[in-house]
Structure 1
Amino acid sequence: MTSEAMPAGTTALITGATAGIGAEFARQLAEQGHSVVLVARDAARLKATAEQLERRYGVRAEVLAADLADDAGVAAVVGRLTDPARPVEILVNNAGIGLLRSFEENDIAEEAGHLKLHVETAMKLTHAALRGMLSRHSGRIINVASVAAFVPRGSYSAAKSWLVSFCRWANLAYAKQGVNVTAVCPGFTHTEFHDRMGMDKTVTPRWMWLQAERVVREGLADNARGKAVSIPTKRYKVLTAAARILPDRLVAGPPRRAK
């Protein structure tokens, strides 16, 4: 791939597409002229989002209601990604959840589901999309990770660290065949994510919060340039660089607290 964006008119599939970073990926890709396939659990919200994108940008917006924590939901999305009659040229794996309590306080089923969604589901969807992209010698894959991948913050950090490592390898392996793979690593971002967790957002300093628009804009640009890892904003680039050399106790970040 070159540093140019994917031509307009191609199709992008975005998971977790009705809120937050996922919704912003859908909006910016539609604004660029791409048809979109929106994946999320809430069918009514999917339909409303699709209608808004079609009306505003004049693109085709397809909806696929699927729970990606469920095997049947994953299979449905895999089926869409592997349909040779309707190729997907851009995949954004964004769906994710957070666990507010610490590891030992969570039920192990919660932890297993959390790991499955962030790692196994992203891996399966990437694998499903990749073969068609390689056969066409063109494609873009974005896995939404987190700056948490670079600091010790429980099983969430561990899962996101896997995504970053995977994307670094995959981009190295497939970029020369026309497929760019990027881990986009936002910091704290104003979305529904933390509200759904029930987290008290006032614990985190105001300067650490980002807007989804900037996260997505920089992530798409870095992916188009062929970067394996995208860390939006200079402040988080500095923080992640510092995390590599400072003691773990200094870089773990503010504790999570319920509202």
Structure 2
Amino acid sequence: MRTWIKASTLFTIAGLTACSSSPTGRNQILMFSDSEMSSLGAKSFEQMKKEIPISKNKKTNAYVQCVAKHITDTIPPQPGFTEWEVVVFDSDQVNAFALPGGKIGVYTGLLKVAKNQDQLATVIGHEVAHVLADHSNERLSQSQLANAGLSLANVALGASEYKEYQQVTMSALGLGVQYGVILPYGRTQESEADIVGLKYMAKAGFNPNQSVDLWQNMGKASGGSQPPEFFSTHPSHSTRIKDLQATINTLPAYNVKAPKCG
């Protein structure tokens, strides 16, 4: 009975108090406050800084900081934090991320694929867009509601049957957790971050056309090993490029002097 009450409470809270809209007008359920998300982001970031080597290369750090600053300077003050923190991690991973609370991480491996400042700005703009669109909050809220649903299934199926299907169900829901707050984004969120992030980087003076070159580089770097789009949480490179080209054609002329970061 307690499980049913708990689940019912979660759904009631979500339905009454957590409705919101994303930057592209999607309906979202956000169950956590800005301060809660910023706290989670900060704690996760501190943990990562302890566990992953941080680059000491002054030139690389200055370059990444410059690109990131030009983008974040175009963004109005955000609830939950006052400053953006950027850290370059010394890792071969071709990746970057941004966490609630204004935390940005860039792996040095990305700089081998993002070959100029405009391509790097594409990635950073994309990751910052995840934060400003509350995608982490959305994923955590979905996880919370899904766990309530799984609790209901536990009661309906019985503990032994539920245990047998739990791992498969959790995987299907994308509930893997790393460093506390990093949950995999879905294709809709990834596509949204592409569109919103492109606007941020263009507004900062970077060349949006380089976003297409970036994803062509990504495709080459993957060696054609990317799984079909249907089986992936990320859009395929071809879909991403098509959507980016369509967005570029709608961007206003910002008339901003191009940054000189590298």
State whether TM-score is above 0.5. no
Higher strand share: 1
Looking at secondary structure, tell me which structure has more helix per residue: 2
